[in-house]
């Protein structure tokens, strides 16, 4: 991953883009949940290979998983958080804390931290250095948790 588009999360969060305004709130919630779910799978794969030893080490798979996480982090998911998506819509439930929508500065902070960590994980995977990968993986997990603790309801 060569490109690091820092700041895109908060910028997108605050923007009223054509994309956002034309998008159904229920779709937006489902798209962002899909992104997190797919990242969870990729995080689990790296954990199994690099941390727990529950799966055989395979650098190509670690890199693919890390690239996927970074690309998701770089995809501008902030655009999926717009007014109307702070609550359940139809049959789609969200665990987002509605307070998040009033805290642009806090969102920017956790968003940037995640963005940085995910791209550093992809960079570490690119080097193939297992210790660097472990460290970057832990930092990425921490950055996920940083947002969950603050903006995800139980």
- Binding characters for a copy of itself, 38-77, by CB under 8 A (x = yes): x-xxx--x--x-----xxx---xx-xxx-xx-xxx-xxx-
DSSP H or E stretch at residue 141: helix 130-151
Q: How many whole angstroms separate alpha carbon 136 and alpha carbon 117? A: 7
Cβ closer to a copy of itself: 21 or 102?
21
Task: Report which of 60, 46, 67 is spatially closest to residue 133, judged by C-alpha positions.
Answer: 46
Cβ closer to a copy of itself: 18 or 102?
18
State CA 117 to chain mean position distance.
10
Q: How many whole angstroms separate alpha carbon 133 and alpha carbon 139? A: 10
What residues line the site for a copy of itself (CB under 8 A)? Answer: 1, 3, 5, 8, 17-19, 22, 30-31, 33-35, 37-38, 40-42, 45, 48, 54-56, 60-61, 63-65, 67-68, 70-72, 74-76, 80
């Amino acid at each position: 991953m060569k490109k690091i588009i820092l700041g895109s999360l908060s910028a997108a969060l605050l923007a009223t883009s054509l994309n956002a305004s034309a998008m159904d709130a229920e779709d937006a919630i489902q798209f962002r949940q899909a992104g997190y779910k797919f990242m969870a799978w990729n995080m689990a794969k790296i954990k199994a290979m690099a941390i727990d030893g529950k799966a055989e080490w395979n650098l190509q798979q670690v890199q693919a998983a890390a690239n996927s996480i970074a690309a998701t982090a770089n995809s501008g998911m902030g655009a999926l958080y717009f007014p109307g998506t702070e609550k359940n819509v139809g049959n789609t439930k969200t665990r987002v804390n509605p307070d998040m929508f009033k805290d642009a500065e806090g969102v920017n902070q956790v968003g940037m931290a995640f963005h940085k960590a995910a791209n550093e994980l992809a960079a570490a995977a690119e080097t193939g250095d297992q210790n660097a990968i472990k460290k970057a993986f832990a930092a990425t997990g921490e950055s996920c948790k940083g947002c969950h603790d603050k903006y995800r309801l139980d």
